[in-house]
Amino acid sequence: MGDDDYTVDDALVTLGFGKFQLLVLVYAGIGWISEAMEMMLLSFVGPAVQSAWKLSSHQESFITSVVFAGMLIGAYSWGIVSDQHGRRKGFLITAIVTSTSGFLSAFSPNYFSLLLFRSLVGLGLGGGPVLSSWFLEFVPAPNRGTWMVIFSAFWTIGTIFEASLAWIVMPRLGWRWLLALSSLPTSLLLLFYKMTPESPRYLCLKGRTTEAMNVLETIARLNGTKLPSGTLISDNQIELQKIDNPSEDTVLLSPRENDEVETPKGMGSNLGGISSLKVLLSPNLARSTLLLWAVFFDREVPGYKLQRCFYCEFCRATRAPLVCRSNLTTSLLFGARVCITVTFTVVYIYAPEIYPTSVRTTGVGVASSVGRIGGMLCPLVAVGLVHGCHQTIAVLLFEIVALVSGICVMFFPFETMGQELQDTVSSVKQTDNAET
């Protein structure tokens, strides 16, 4: 890279976190609030529907399970759409699906139509990682951890708002009104969609540097700062320069590894579903991907890794006394809920950071899909065990899953705190080698 060249990371650090990023934060935060509301309302709607339609406990649990089933499919699908066609198109489609299906579910004439509409809501909610990745790609590396935590707080705001809405609406208007009103925040994403910019990092990866420059100039204007002097250059161009002018490090690469360095240029535009999975399970990313799947399965650190492991273990410890001391149940559940929230926050900061831009939303989407498997199984297993008077076994089962999750965190290959986001798979490999 020449002295007059700079990357998107260099530009974002120079521009800082200002008014532009705050507007992006609010928009993405509305999406996070709406997802939290759609998830939280299941706790209120389930018992009401069970009473109204005389459902069994397993039928009630299935209402939650179909949402997670939809999210399993959606998280993977929208991740691929976002990596191929842009972040904006990804969250536009998810907002349309979520808001429409959520509103129509309020008019469900029977149990099976409700299952259909809620599964479609889950399909739309699976696009949540697209919004978080989109916001992440506007944040300078030094501020990323702090602002991603603040972004995650919108989820808590959504749950509080939904609980308050249910408290007001349910006794007076019933569960159908709650479903209809809870779908409205997602509509705000559609209302302000035309004002949203595409990720400059994504544009640069696709070779659309002129459009990326326009976005960066808008950031500079709103933040009252100036871009670095020189020419914007993508990681692809940097790697091609390394191939044209090989250094000591690149000379040591085998021919196969040199091919991997050249691959990303075409990767961004031609990845399909199976091809994306192959990239996620390639030698450079396989370890991180498999460990992240294990962590996401149980997500319901100097650095993020140590922090995530600590809270997994603390969460497990706070749940253990529930087996024998019922008088501590409320306080310990509160402590466990705090730890679960923290682990949820940290894993959603770490997960997008370990993947390159070319497969970032796909990687997080697939990991989120694995997590939805746990979400699908949890209500069915938990309800069955509790109704079968096996509460101790239910708690111990969750203990074991939390323990395995904490152990997996210790084996993540590298730390991401304060590091620049990578755009290509070969960049991730270089980061991994630097850590080891």
By CB neighbour count within 10 A (0-12 exposed, 13-18 middle, 19+ buried), where does 290 fall? middle
Residues ≥6 apart with Cβ < 8 Å to 220 = 15, 226, 227
pLDDT at residue 380, as a whole number? 63
Compute how many other C-beta atoms are within 10 angstroms of the C-beta atom of residue 246.
13
Which residue matches tokens 């999406």? 31
pLDDT at residue 376, as a whole number? 65
**DSSP secondary structure, 324-377, as one string:** T-GGGHHHHHHHHHHHHHHHHHHHHHHHHHHS-GGGHHHHHHHHHHHHHHHHHH
Q: CA 263 to CA 53: how far, in whole Å? A: 56
CA atoms within 13 A on the CB side of 112: 0
Q: Find, among 273, 261, 20, 214, the residue nearest to 135 by Cα.
A: 20
Segments making up each domain of the chain, as ranges: 5-218, 263-435
pLDDT at residue 266, as a whole number? 39
**Domain 5-218 annotated CATH 3.40.50.1860:** no
> What element of type H or E holds 378?
helix 360-387
The ranges of the chain with pLDDT < 50 are: 240-273, 293-294, 297-314, 316-324, 431, 433-434, 436
Token pair listed for 83: 């990596």
Residues in the chain: 436
Q: What is the pLDDT of residues 49-75, one digit of tens each?
A: 888 888 887 788 788 888 888 887 887
Contact assessment for residue 352 and residue 132, using Cβ atoms and an 8 Å cutoff: yes
**DSSP secondary structure, 213-240, as one string:** HHHHHHHHHHHT--PPSSEE--HHHHHH
Q: What is the pLDDT of residues 116-154, one digit of tens each?
A: 999 999 888 888 888 888 888 898 878 777 888 888 889
**DSSP secondary structure, 100-135, as one string:** HHHHHGGG--SHHHHHHHHHHHHHHHTTHHHHHHHH
pLDDT at residue 61, as a whole number? 79
Q: CA 250 to CA 252: how far, in whole Å? A: 5
In sign, the C-alpha dihedral spanning 191, 197, 202, 203 is positive
**Beta strand 5-6 pairing with 231-232:** parallel
Residues ≥6 apart with Cβ < 8 Å to 266 = none
Q: Find, among 182, 159, 158, 160, the residue nearest to 170 by Cα.
A: 182
Does this model's pTM top 0.75? My answer is: no
Residues ≥6 apart with Cβ < 8 Å to 378 = 300
